[in-house]
Structure 1
Amino acid sequence: MTTPETTGSHIMAFDIGGSKTHAVRTVDGEVVAEAVVGSANVSSVGDDEAGHQLDLAIERLGGPGEVRAACAGAAGVDTPDTVRRLHDLIADRLPCARVRIVHDSQLILAAAGLENGIALISGTGSVAWGRNGSRSVRAGGWGYLLGDEGSGYWVAREAVRRTLALADDGQPYGELGQLLAADCGLPDATELLNHFYTQTNRRYWAGRARVVFELANAGDPASRSIVDDAARALAALTGLVARRLDISGPVVLAGGLAVHQPLLADAVGTELAHLGLGEMRVLAVDPVRGAVALATQLLAECGHPTTTAAAHDQ
């Protein structure tokens, strides 16, 4: 861990996902410490565990001293109650800082240096969020039980579903089903149904999406069909936001699946073009940089970056 300097404007920023928290400390805009800990998502791990992970992150970033502003972007902060709970956990640990809590989708435009546009995230889950002037709109992000179309979890679940559908039709399981079963450590695809219901970890299945993309890149029609359907679903989310905000872009693509699977990014770009939407770019920096930008705005609103006021903004 790098020891922060004792002068300058200190900021802490947090990108809180379902499985990990990426945190950085900056001084006058320069990153001086960085940490990755477990998830501090109050919706999925509860307040006690979230607080524990925040303690670890803040300790690894050099402690709370001199931090004057903090921003956390978190998945699952969809209600005033979840915003308040996360806000209070951070504010209690950074007593001299102003604190801002946003949904993690809002970090993307800020990280890309954009005021207006649409952020499209495809990772373990999926969501689109956009801003046009004073208006903002979100679509998707309902979670794996109700939506998350085009996400890593959705891609793997589709592979299982389509494999089982082949069996229902009396057809062989196919290469996709067999390789997916092998990736899960199963003897053959006949075990996929039971394994899916006994292995309920979303991150586990999102990781299996890799098999679909490997086969799609090799020309497997069944796998390519899943990728194309994922791209259409993600583009549809983007289209909803674009229509409601009356904008055509730019669209910033983010999330582990979108960033690390060029085939998906290309397919999304094609679908966006079909919808008449404009420029698409893949986020080139970590989303936590958006939390840094939003926390920096808080400092500017204070009027004096080094003030010790303990006010907190949601």
Structure 2
Amino acid sequence: MQGTIDAFSHGAVTPLAAYIMACLGGALGLRCVVRSVFNDQSWRPGWLALGATSIGCGIWTMHFIAMIGFRVEETQIRYDVGLTVLSLAVAITVVGIGVFAVGYRGVDRRTLGIAGTVTGIGVAAMHYLGMAAMHLNGTIRYDTFTVALSVLIAIVAATSALWAAVSIHGFLPSLGASLIMGLAVSGMHYTGMAAVSVHLHTAPSDMWTGQSPASLLLPMLIGPVVFLVLAGVVVMFDPLLLGDVEADRSGRRLRAMPRQSSRTAPGAESLFQPPPPAARHAEDRQRSRAQHVQKW
């Protein structure tokens, strides 16, 4: 018997909240990588680690916020705590591999291709590991083609994000890149969910033990969300990143200003140009007479 799947049981609330968290993690991660690459005064390993953790937490939080809206009408869903925590560690680790690779080696084709592939496969592994943590009175099956498509989307999204991390260093371009990154990661998640089907067991089973989504996921989401908020505070008040924002704004203002004419306004020449020779001779004669009168 096939189960009736509803991935949007709370309407647009969970997809929108999941997208916002993916964008937030991506934005913070990109700004941290920018801070490490384009500022010589930065402690590169620390900022790269902060960026990788921000992106990983954003992806993981996006996944499980979206999963709060997932249900199978004929059975309850529970989650295994160990696999859920392990999926968070996998997300941070694989993103860290890609971020450190491009942070130290740049975005040449080979490095970007390898790092993007490893990171994308890792993000997909986090997704399906999180799905493996889900227990219900049935068997979860996947459509092979749709799963492959979701992995491909993850690789493209990861490669694009790593390229943007070291190639885009203005505030507004980074913001736009994070919005696109959030859309790609959310698209990968819901593509993977489209591959899911549930074959229900005819009799109740004692094998699907665990905690309910609300009792497990909501408390576990508090930690990553608090971390992202604190990371946002660090990024917002970092003086070098603030300087980068101001430089971006100043550059835009300068590009918007019309080109000034090299000709000086009428009447202004007398303020900057030396007097003509005749005037200088007259001043010299007057000065000599004054000195002569003062002498006698």
TM-score of the two chains, using structure 2 as the length reference: 0.24
The structure carrying a bigger strand percent of its residues is: 1
Greater C-alpha radius of gyration? 2
The structure carrying a bigger helix percent of its residues is: 2
Q: Which has the higher contact order (CA 8 A, sep 6+)?
A: 2
TM-score of the two chains, using structure 1 as the length reference: 0.23
